[in-house]
Amino acid sequence: MRTSKFFLLAFLPVLTVAQDFTQYVDPHIGTGDHGHVFVGANIPFGMINAGPTQLETGWDWCSGYHEKGTKIVGFAQTHLSGTGCSDLGDVAIMPITGDVEYSREGLATLYCHDNEEVRPGYYSILLGTDKKVAETEANKFIHTEITANQRNAIYRITYPKGARVNDLIVDLNNGVGDILRYARLTMMSDRLCVGFRISHGWANDQHCYFSMRFSRPVKISDVAQQSYYRLSFEPSDEPLLVTIALSPVSEINAMQNMIPEDVTFNQMRTDADNAWNRELRRVKATFQNDRDRRIFYTAMYHFMVAPQTWDDANGDWRGANNHVYRSGTSDKKEENADSPIGTSRYLTTLSLWDTYRAAAPLSTIILPEMMPAVVETYLRIFREQHKLPVWHLMSQETNCMVGCPAVPVLADLLLKGYVRDTTLAWQAMEQSLLMDERGLDDMKKWGYVANDHHGGSLSMSLEYMLADWSAAEAGKAILSAKGDHPGIRRTTDYLHERSLGYKHLYDPRVGFLRSKNSHGEFNGIGDFNPAHQTKDYTEGNPWQYLWLVPHDVEGLVNMLGGREEAVKRLDALFAADSQLNAEANPDITGLIGQYAHGNEPSHHTAYLYALMGEPRKTARLIHQIQNELYTDQPAGLCGNEDVGQMSAWYILSALGFYQVEPCGGRYVLGSPLVKEATLHVGHGKTFTIRTHGLSAKAFYIKRALLNGQPLGSKNEPLILRHEDIMRGGTLDIYMSK
């Protein structure tokens, strides 16, 4: 089998090629309820997410697809996965066999899940019926198949046998929740066209350029209506192959990104499956049952949809300032064949408020070869927009969500040794935290964001504080490595002090963290209810945000009156009535008491018990979350996938540990699900986790041995350090009932 040169991927030398991990992935998990996951064809971290866009719109169609959807309006080349906002759906095509109305509703076509096949790198559907079709009857309907690589999708469209019309609508009008600004399609020959789509949505000024090649000549091309183009082909019982390449830069680059004509559909499908297998087997795990294995490897799949490649094969990219940058030769010097993105150095779909908590730390363990590109992306964006990314989407800064979430990620990468230019990284963190926008001017004045200036002020304050702590930890590391520097020392001390400001937001009258106004005053307590979300809390309420101090758990415990009182308060969180107020955000889901696993601010909270000397309570809750709030059904996620975060929590927790602090690589042990797991941690090294005595009832950790030596000391929480994992070795975990 020939491997397409466009993957620029080599097999990791320590991995076994034979085992097929894609067979354990079910992309339908998360398509129900509020999971919002992408369904279609892609490869890990690829630019292309090619798949169906459904007629229905609304919150549950943020990716363009939901289990309940009844009609497909086209097959677009870009889709989000697991977000709480809609966008993309660029450059859609729709095969037709007769007259249609050129509108979203007019193109809408029935389909049935029973006629649908989805696996990593491949999607297939019969169009035109909502009933299950026997194999012998399938040739009466349009059969659309899709596969993809990093910057290309190939469609294999088989029209009904004997159909007198074999046409294709190129729809540049409809996206997923955005508004078209400009679009164009130009025929370059009877087998090739190019074009672009510029839109306004969540990404404010998104540019998407494409080239499109056909296996049959276009007989007639017609602008059927503004931004709808109808292409007619000579009818044939042979499939029509449509190859689509994308670029963020230009039509010419899109043409250069296109794969050679001799790459077949089946070859690309095989290559896509191989690409997924290469990445999925970075964690080779065994489980007690098929259900857990299916959830785990589907979580690995969802975790690797983003961040996405957003530069061209020649290294060109469109920056966060919308300027086009031409790649220099220096970008090719760090080529790493083991990186899943090859030579790419600019990534997008950075859902950082979500992913700094678990997806980013997980990446530092099992995707070390990719980390230089992550660092380079953040520093490029910093140079372009003069601050680190907040929620970067297709070259646009959406400024979505609160805090400075790139700071914990960059600090974590620096502390784990992935940052070469620590001076620039420090400048990026320092400047991003000392600006005057998005409430940071309040942080400089009062050490918190005032509630009479900003909505979500309490959440903003806490997120800034944990970012402050992360930057201060990075500053300490730089000072330790390079010697004292007065400027770095001053800022490090200042940010560390500011990170402890949560103590001044504790209202002893009610026992919760609350916002203050610009005069330093709390609101009254007459109508206070910790289960009620108010304008001071972003996608959460006082119950959940009391615990968003992962950077200073000891200080939080002392603030709450000591260990015993803090444990009682944590018990109360998980035992509280789960009733929310009518104004509560729909993201507050997956409730155990008032713990909300469906949204990210709660994701570390169950692990706090272990840090408070109650590891069995951590284990019990982790086990409950794993078994009740994750399933192998379409409604298998209790909240938005959030671009890999929900899945990353499951992966780390199944392996038995979680990074509670925002950065630094101290992983708290919880309750593993794996019988055995081998992690490929780079440089040919592996780290193996083995559980002993694990069962449905024996999910408590009795003791752990790292390379044969006891992990931790008596009466101390079991902590695994990043360097322990990355140097390779074995962790033996002994379980008990």
The whole-model pTM stands at 0.95
pLDDT digits (tens, 9 = 90+) for 189-215: 999 999 999 999 999 999 999 999 999
pLDDT of the residue at 28: 97
In whole angstroms, give the CA distance from residue 317 to residue 442: 35
In whole angstroms, give the CA distance from residue 229 to residue 248: 21
pLDDT of the residue at 220: 79
CATH topology of domain 284-305+570-737: GH92 mannosidase fold (3.30.2080)
Indicate the domain borders of the chain: 22-280, 284-305+570-737
Q: Which candidate, 17, 65, 19, 69, places its Cα nearest to that of 40?
A: 65
Evaluated on CA atoms 333, 335, 336, 337, the torsion sign reads negative
Cα Rg for the chain, rounded, in angstroms?
26
pLDDT of the residue at 18: 54
pLDDT digits (tens, 9 = 90+) for 380-438: 999 999 999 999 999 999 999 999 999 999 999 999 999 999 999 999 999 999 999 99
What φ, ψ does residue 381 adopt, rounded to 5°?
-60, -40
Low-confidence spans in the chain with pLDDT less than 50: 1-17, 329-333
DSSP per residue over 284-295, as a string?
EEE-SSHHHHHH
pLDDT of the residue at 456: 97
pLDDT of the residue at 225: 74
Residues near 333 by beta carbon (within 8 Å), at least 6 away in sequence = none
DSSP per residue over 461-520, as a string?
HHHHHHHHHHHHHHHHHHHHHH---HHHHHHHHHHHHHHTGGGGGEETTTTEE--B-TTS
Decide if 542 contacts 514 (C-beta within 8 A): yes
pLDDT of the residue at 338: 85
Q: Tell which CATH architecture fits domain 22-280.
A: Distorted Sandwich (2.70)
Q: Residue 154 is encoded by which pair of tokens?
A: 């190939």
